Amino acid sequence: MNEELLLKALRVDLGITSEAFSQRLLSKIRTAQARIEEEGITLEDTEQDRDLVVMYAAYLWRSRTSGEGMPRMLRYALNNRLFSRKAAGEG
């Protein structure tokens, strides 16, 4: 996946316009990708998977200060992504 596209989308999601946080945001993107794959999801370069990575990275960024658990909509999106592939016989 193109990290620059993911970074731009994450900045928009978080409302961050400064480049000052670029390395920290890229770290969250990479962590999000790794954690998604740990759940058994093979990411592809699709709009849906890019959105999933950005959603997860935004959650990681926000939870660092709030300490909140994973948002229900993110958990649903991960489960739907995983189960749709299994139902299609790909996993």
Mean pLDDT of the chain: 92
Q: What type of residue sits at position 59?
A: Y
Count of Cβ atoms closer than 10 Å to residue 48 Cβ: 13
CA distance 91 to 89: 6
Burial of 4-16, coded b for 16+ CB within 10 Å and e otherwise, reads: eebbebbbebbeb
Q: Which band of pLDDT confidence, cut at 50, 70 and 90, is reported for residue 80? A: very high
Count of Cβ atoms closer than 10 Å to residue 61 Cβ: 20
Annotated domain spans of the chain: 3-87
Q: Which band of pLDDT confidence, cut at 50, 70 and 90, is reported for residue 90? A: low
- In tens, the pLDDT along 9-47 reads 999 999 999 999 999 999 999 999 999 999 999 999 999
> Does pLDDT of 49 surpass 70?
yes
